[in-house]
Amino acid sequence: MDFLWSPEQEQIRQAIERVCAPFDADYWLERDREGGFPHAFHQALAEAGWLGIAMPEAFGGAGLGIGEAALMMHTIAATGAGLSGASAVHMNIFGLHPVVVFGSQEQKQRWLPPLIAGKDQACFGVTEPDAGLNTLKLKTRAVRDGGHYVVHGQKVWISTAQVANKILLLARTKAVEESSGTEGLSLFYTDLDRSTVEVREIDKLGRKCVDSNQVFIDGLRIPVEDRVGEEDKGFSYILHGLNPERILIAAEAVGLGRAALARATQYAKERVVFERPIGMNQGIQHPLAQAWMGLEAAHLMVQKAAFLYDKGLPCAAEANAAKFLAAEACAKACETAIFTHGGMGYAKEYHVERYMRESWIPRLAPVSPQMILNFIAEKVLGLPRSY
Ligand SMILES: Cc1cc2nc3c(=O)[nH]c(=O)nc-3n(C[C@H](O)[C@H](O)[C@H](O)COP(=O)(O)OP(=O)(O)OC[C@H]3O[C@@H](n4cnc5c(N)ncnc54)[C@H](O)[C@@H]3O)c2cc1C
């Protein structure tokens, strides 16, 4: 067992910090106030070659594992870019994993290099208003018409759809009644053709600069060449990407929590009340110490899950646990950071209220804490399925 970063991993951390350095707290505060996708940040990471960190070398990526990708995303969030920074590139890092595993050589050659270069931006179209977490009940319908599929339906919460030119779309190719098990849904990676797709931004709690949207699809024509793998098998392809995605968002949550803890600790050292720094009070120290422990423990689970994934071993329990623990530890650290700042914790210029708003994202998405508890209870503890 080895808990230390390798020299290569340490280099990754330092290199990411260098790319992130010009995008300081004021940059993210302005993005949070004004909105507007952080194109400059996305481009800086693309130009330095980081968007392909986990993509195959044959297509211009670095061919590294989820461990390194998680380190990258953790570092981005921990610099204070938080979820605003991480979400701006999140989809590039592992979102196209189903394409890497199940796409043809021709598709990978067509799709991966522009994504790695930052020329293409992809969004991930799964969630629907009526299906919620019950993905097998998706209604968006893709009907074959010669060399095309014609799609009608609705998606919700689709992040970056304002700026993306591509969508990884899960749609029904067989009616629910005719589908057995996980079959009946197909996966497409295609142009987000705005003449048939309307994208309406959702006004939301945080991460204003990375949009999330309602998406109305009315007659989108998808060439058959843009279907990933076999028809009706899309759900099983998506499943392959779920564990890495949970690991990445967990790493981002730990990074965000550490950014909040760093600001709170600094403030506790500097702020003097009753003629001494507030950090001399155990009432301030102990919650900070506890937040540190929570984040450290969660990070160990992130690293374990990433290690198992990169070794090709089962990691669903660990990936889910990492996502749950990291999100909760992050939320606790952000809340503690606000308390530490007192009234100033509520002021935007101290940044921690922004972190707290962003900490809700890894708690709620891409899967809820309740569903993770259901999963662990059923699949790890062997208890009866509760739903
Ligand atoms: C900021 C943000 C960005 C997002 N980006 C994307 C994106 O890019 N692409 C995309 O496809 N989706 C995206 N999502 C959607 C996200 O994945 C879903 O919101 C999430 O999966 C939960 O689904 P839902 O909101 O429909 O909740 P619902 O399914 O409506 O569930 C509501 C609540 O009920 C609970 N619940 C339901 N059934 C059970 C049960 N059996 N046992 C216990 N509790 C239960 C849930 O845990 C949850 O708390 C995003 C969401 C957010 C907030």
CATH code of the domain in which 276 resides: 1.20.140.10
Residue 89: name the closest of 75, 105, 100 by CA.
Answer: 75
In a domain, residue 257? The reply is yes
Domain boundary among 116, 144, 164: 116
Closest protein CA for atom 50 of ligand 1: 157
Give the number of the atom of ligand 1 that is nearest the alpha carbon of residue 373.
Answer: 43
Closest protein CA for atom 7 of ligand 1: 158
Closest protein CA for atom 27 of ligand 1: 132
In a domain, residue 68? The reply is yes
Probe residue for ligand 1, chosen from 368, 372, 374, 383 as the CB with the greatest number of ligand atoms within 8 Å: 368
Mean pLDDT along residues 236-261: 96
In a domain, residue 386? The reply is no
Question: Does residue 368 share a domain with residue 280?
Answer: yes
Question: Does residue 347 share a domain with residue 243?
Answer: yes
Structural domain range at position 295 = 239-380
Buried b (16+ CB within 10 A) or exposed e, 178-199: ebeeebbbbbbbbbbeeeebeb
Region at 80 (left for phi over 0; alpha for psi -120 to 50; beta for the rest): left
In a domain, residue 387? The reply is no
Alpha-carbon torsion 38, 39, 44, 46, what sign? positive
In a domain, residue 300? The reply is yes
Closest protein CA for atom 48 of ligand 1: 368
Give the number of the atom of ligand 1 that is nearest the alpha carbon of residue 204.
Answer: 1
pLDDT digits (tens, 9 = 90+) for 210-231: 999 999 999 999 999 999 999 9
Distance CA 296, CA 240 (A): 27
The residue with tokens 């591509």 is 166
Closest protein CA for atom 32 of ligand 1: 132
Probe residue for ligand 1, chosen from 157, 162, 167 as the CB with the greatest number of ligand atoms within 8 Å: 157
Question: Does residue 227 share a domain with residue 252?
Answer: no
Distance 81 CA to ligand 1 centre (A): 24
Question: Does residue 351 share a domain with residue 260?
Answer: yes
- What SS3 string covers the chain? CCCCCCHHHHHHHHHHHHHHCCCCHHHHHHHHHHCCCCHHHHHHHHHCCHHHCCCCHHHCCCCCCHHHHHHHHHHHHHHHHHHHHHHHHHHHHHCCHHHHHHCCHHHHHHHHHHHHCCCCCEEEECCCCCCCCCHHHCCCEEEEECCEEEEEEEEEEEECCCCCCEEEEEEECCCHHHCCCCCCEEEEEEECCCCCEEEEECCCCCCCCCCEEEEEEEEEEEEHHHEECCCCEHHHHHHHHHHHHHHHHHHHHHHHHHHHHHHHHHHHHHCEECCEEHHHCHHHHHHHHHHHHHHHHHHHHHHHHHHHHHCCCCCHHHHHHHHHHHHHHHHHHHHHHHHHHHHHHHCHHHCHHHHHHHHHHHHHCCCCHHHHHHHHHHHHCCCCCCC
pLDDT value at residue 113: 96
Taking the model in full, what pTM does it have?
0.97
**Amino acid letter, residue 259:** A
Distance 364 CA to ligand 1 centre (A): 6
Probe residue for ligand 1, chosen from 364, 373, 374 as the CB with the greatest number of ligand atoms within 8 Å: 364
| pLDDT averaged over every residue in the chain | 97
Closest protein CA for atom 15 of ligand 1: 157
Decide if pLDDT at 29 tops 90.
yes
Question: Does residue 133 share a domain with residue 74?
Answer: no
Distance 369 CA to ligand 1 centre (A): 10
Question: Does residue 319 share a domain with residue 222?
Answer: no
Give the number of the atom of ligand 1 that is nearest the alpha carbon of residue 366.
Answer: 17
Question: Does residue 157 share a domain with residue 103?
Answer: no
Question: Does residue 289 share a domain with residue 181?
Answer: no
Cβ burial of 112 (10 Å; 0-12, 13-18, 19+) is: buried
Distance 131 CA to ligand 1 centre (A): 9
Question: Does residue 16 share a domain with residue 143?
Answer: no
Distance CA 19, CA 1 (A): 31
pLDDT value at residue 294: 98
The count of structural domains within the chain is 3
Probe residue for ligand 1, chosen from 127, 166, 192, 204 as the CB with the greatest number of ligand atoms within 8 Å: 127
Probe residue for ligand 1, chosen from 87, 93, 96, 133 as the CB with the greatest number of ligand atoms within 8 Å: 133
In a domain, residue 385? The reply is no
pLDDT class for 271, splitting at 50, 70, 90? very high
Question: Does residue 179 share a domain with residue 70?
Answer: no
CATH at 226 = 2.40.110.10
pLDDT digits (tens, 9 = 90+) for 300-354: 999 999 999 999 999 999 999 999 999 999 999 999 999 999 999 999 999 999 9
Give the number of the atom of ligand 1 that is nearest the alpha carbon of residue 212.
Answer: 3
Integer angstrom CA distances of residue 309 from 89, 113, 245, 380 = 21, 24, 11, 17
Domain boundary among 116, 132, 156: 116
Question: Does residue 339 share a domain with residue 254?
Answer: yes
Distance CA 377, CA 307 (A): 23
Torsion of CA 48, 310, 103, 320, to 10 degrees: -100
Domain boundary among 76, 99, 116: 116
Decide if pLDDT at 94 tops 90.
no
Residues lining ligand 1, judged by CB closer than 6 Å?
123-127, 132-133, 157-159, 212, 361, 364-368, 370-371, 374, 387
In a domain, residue 102? The reply is yes
pLDDT value at residue 68: 97
Closest protein CA for atom 29 of ligand 1: 132
Taking the alpha carbons at both ends of the chain, their separation in whole angstroms is: 38
In a domain, residue 1? The reply is no
Compute how many other C-beta atoms are within 10 angstroms of the C-beta atom of residue 314: 10
Residue 171: name the closest of 102, 237, 245 by CA.
Answer: 237
312: Cβ contacts below 8 Å, ≥ 6 apart: none
Closest protein CA for atom 41 of ligand 1: 387
**Amino acid letter, residue 61:** G
Question: Does residue 247 share a domain with residue 374?
Answer: yes
pLDDT class for 2, splitting at 50, 70, 90? confident
